[in-house]
Structure formats: C-alpha cells, structure tokens
Amino acid sequence: MEHRFEAMPEAMAVRRCTVEHVFGTIKGWMGATHFRTRGLRNVATEASLAILAYNIKRAIAVAGVVPILQALRG
C-alpha cells in the first residue's frame, strides 16, 4: 500500500474528499462519540442503519421525495 501511495500521492487527496466526509457526516449524526450498542454484531447493525439512513437522505436530495416514495412503494 505504501508503494502505491508513493506512486500516486494525489490519490489520497481524492480519497479524503470523496469518501471520508461521508463517515464524518454519519459520525456527526451519531453525536461524534461512540456506538450505543455493545458487541460486534450489534455495532455492525447500528452502523448499517446509520449508513442506510445516510443513503436514503442522499437519494432524496438527488432524486426528490416523490420518485423515492414511488420506488419504495413498488
């Protein structure tokens, strides 16, 4: 990984801009502290729900409320 990074140092800047802000946003929603549950399975579930909520919020921002509701209803 270090060799790949040295070959393309600009890739890390792109990664920070496109990926890490999502986790920062989700962490901010959760209170910027820690998971509220214990155990790997429960923490994975909590993280999955937070990511699902983020994705739904982004989909509504991109497509709008009506198309998302229509898609959810089938």
More confident of the two residues 16 and 23: 23
How much is the pLDDT for 67? 94
Q: Show Cβ contacts of residue 11 under 8 Å, excluding neighbours closer than 6 positions.
A: 4, 5
How much is the pLDDT for 17? 66
Domain ranges of the chain: 2-73
Distance CA 28, CA 33 (A): 8
Mean pLDDT of 48-61: 88
The tokens describing 11, both together, are 């890739």
Distance CA 1, CA 46 (A): 30
Mean pLDDT of 47-64: 89
